[in-house]
Structure 1
Amino acid sequence: MKRITSEAIAALRIDPRQCVGWVREAFLMKGRAQLPPKISLHPQGSDFINTMPCLLPAEYRRFGCKVVSRIRGQHPALKSEMMLFDSSTGEMVALVNCDWITAMRTGAVAALAIRTLRRSRASVYAFVGLGVIGRATLDCLLASCAGERMHIRLMRYKDQAERIVGEYGGAEGVSFSIADTMEELVRGADVVVSCITDADGLLVDDPALFEPGVLVVPVHTRGFQNCDPVFDKVFADDTDHVRGFRYFDRFRRFGELGDVLAGTIPGRESDQERILSYNIGIALHDVLFGAKIELEIPPPSLCRKCDGGLIIDRLPIGCRAA
């Protein structure tokens, strides 16, 4: 069994554009995968522990189950591990640290949703929440939209916005500004992306502040519930994962992003439509990322001391000579 660490994944230097390609591949196979809704448990307050299983189509020979948690005070805010199995034998082939996978598949899905559902000639992109997920989304968006002229408007929080400008300010064709209020952030924006992991209430009290043609992408689903019954369309990664939303039965029109990508339902049909895209996060993406990465990681070597235990993450496991 392989123990795949975050350091091993980082060493692969996977391009953000590859991540966007992988999530698109996953969406297009969704109808042939087995994807039960995640199980969410809440130990206290807004903390959660989610269990997320998925069986990929037969040709991939992989089943995986990710456990992801958000516990107040932990860093990063989201932590996750995945057990990966050969679905043809039941053998566990890898234990995968999913901190990088969770961030990058989330950012890649958001970027893919933006490219798929934004209005034509979109140029102003507003971001609130500039932590790990916000940076992953920005990485994937800039990589997949390379060459486009974009203005990125950032919500001020501590020194995060200033640091983003300093790190990304050299991107060709990209300019930045910083907003001090949510009203200033969303007014006139073509795309609004929220990557905050916790919200006690609504982020924008009046949905009328969102202008015609806007695309709102609440990556962690929080803070925009008042938009659900008034926006023209709502899309999500998976129907069963959002069926329990308070206003699900009041969505004006609803569909899955994968069906838009496959061409079986329309996405945006007018530059005047206001659209929500709930990228709630599904195990299908995690398991496909894990399967792709597992193929690139060499198998563990035998312990030289005893030729018995395995060297996993540089530590002897079951070594008889230790």
Structure 2
Amino acid sequence: MAHDIRVVTEAELRRVIALDAGLVDVIERAFAALSGPGVVMPPVLSMALEEVHGEVDVKTAYLPGFDGFAIKVSPGFFDNPKLGLPSLNGLMILFSAKTGLVEALFLDNGYLTDIRTAAAGAVAARHLAPSQVETAAVLGTGVQARLQIAAAHLERPFGRVLVWGRDLVKAGDCAAELRKILGIEAEVVETVDEAVAHSQLVVTTTPARDPLITAGMLHPGLHITAMGSDQPGKNEVAADALAAADLYVADRVAQCEVAGELAAARARGLMTGLLPELGEVVTGAVPGRSSDDEVTICDLTGTGAQDTAIASHVATLLSGGDIGTLIGT
């Protein structure tokens, strides 16, 4: 029996799906499913290719109730810009959860990963940020810095954003783009301390291996979404800061204790007990923020559940249409 596989390019995907409230809902449902029974999500296959300043992650998850499951390959080669090439690329393969047949191949060059990662930040803000946010801050100046702030703004429409980066020129470019995209005040700050002190919501998006945020920077009414640490050895938030927070939430504890902020804390003998996951907060199994004075931290390493959710959602959006190329097998 003939079977068609839909091949869709990044340009075609950008016509179909973008970072919006609907996508945030999709990723929120993925976290809810991740907290339930029957999930199969193996550890991330991760390779650090230090010789070429690169890394490759492979993620997947089977979620009960979803018609398909995705396998995502995500390379990052960080010297590529010197060659006029993007740092990130990759693809997603969507399989039928019933037959195992390939349903679609999304040649997204990391686009779907970018927006599903940002949407996870929005889910964190939805459940953990203070009810009112006047000023947000972002540490980092790349694609995720822009997307994470745009995502957080969907949930907490703040009027000002502070941008910190090691390169002040790049920080200025990032601030200018956020000002244009969101129509809010955006300014560059020279220190992390300044960024955190004046914000109620902070997103960290850097590849730092030495912590940027310390316990002494925490203040009442602060939420931090830390998403840059997705490989062993990366660390943006100091271990004692995690321990000092009123509430720490992982996207997946098993991942965060290997590659997230939690890894450094556990290495120091901190945060050793049972810890909540974002899906448990989404479903109400574990309380989220209980007052606007609390300090909350969400540790996002990126899960295969998010990839399965966004790939399945895209397949639904494409169903019955003529976007992409059908290849018979």
Q: With structure 2 as the length reference, what TM-score do the two structures score?
A: 0.82
Is residue 247 of structure 1 aligned with residue 260 of structure 2?
A: no
Q: Distance in 1 between matches of 2:142 and 2:158?
A: 24
> RMSD across aligned C-alpha pairs, in angstroms?
2.8
Q: Looking at both structures, which has the greater relative contact order when contacts are Cα pairs under 8 Å and sequence separation is at least 6?
A: 2
Q: With structure 1 as the length reference, what TM-score do the two structures score?
A: 0.84
Match of 2:58 among 51, 64, 67: 51
Is residue 109 of structure 1 aligned with residue 130 of structure 2?
A: no
Match of 1:208 among 213, 216, 228: 216
* C-alpha distance after superposition, 1:133-169 (max 9, x if no partner): 1122122222344xx4432111153433333443343
Q: Distance in 1 between matches of 2:158 and 2:243?
A: 32
Is residue 184 of structure 1 aligned with residue 190 of structure 2?
A: no
The residue number in structure 2 matching 1:14 is 18
Q: Distance in 2 between matches of 1:12 and 1:300?
A: 11
Change over 3 Å in CA distance of 1:17–1:195 after alignment to 2: same
Equivalenced residues, count: 303
Match of 1:142 among 149, 153, 158: 153
Specify the SS of the correspondent of 2:310. Answer: helix
* C-alpha distance after superposition, 1:64-118 (max 9, x if no partner): 2111122221354332212211121111111213411111011111122122111
The residue number in structure 2 matching 1:305 is none
Matches within 5 A, 1:1-322: 1-30=5-34, 31-32=36-37, 33-44=39-50, 47-57=54-64, 59-74=65-80, 75-98=85-108, 99-145=110-156, 148-156=157-165, 157-169=167-179, 174-196=184-206, 198-204=207-213, 206-221=214-229, 222-226=235-239, 227-244=241-258, 245-248=263-266, 250-251=270-271, 254-297=275-318
Change over 3 Å in CA distance of 1:267–1:253 after alignment to 2: farther
Specify the SS of the correspondent of 1:183. Answer: helix
Q: Distance in 2 between matches of 1:106 and 1:207?
A: 26
Counterpart of 1:85, as a letter, is F
CA contact (8 A) 1:235 1:256 kept: yes
Q: Distance in 1 between matches of 2:49 and 2:210?
A: 20
Counterpart of 2:107, as a letter, is N
Q: Distance in 2 between matches of 1:158 and 1:3?
A: 40
CA contact (8 A) 2:95 2:104 kept: yes
Please identify, of 4-13 and 158-167, the stretch whose mean Cα deviation from structure 2 is larger: 158-167
Specify the SS of the correspondent of 1:280. Answer: coil
Counterpart of 1:142, as a letter, is H
User: Gapped runs of 5+ residues in structure 2?
Assistant: 230-234
Change over 3 Å in CA distance of 1:182–1:253 after alignment to 2: farther
User: Gapped runs of 5+ residues in structure 1?
Assistant: 302-310
Decide which structure has greater helix share. Answer: 2
CA offset at residue 170 of structure 1? 5.3
Counterpart of 2:265, as a letter, is Y
Q: Percent of aligned positions with the same letter in both sequences?
A: 21
Counterpart of 1:86, as a letter, is S
CA contact (8 A) 2:60 2:307 kept: no
* C-alpha distance after superposition, 1:204-230 (max 9, x if no partner): 3x4212222321111122321332333
Counterpart of 2:223, as a letter, is L
CA contact (8 A) 1:188 1:210 kept: no
Specify the SS of the correspondent of 1:79. Answer: coil
CA contact (8 A) 1:5 1:313 kept: no
Change over 3 Å in CA distance of 1:165–1:188 after alignment to 2: closer
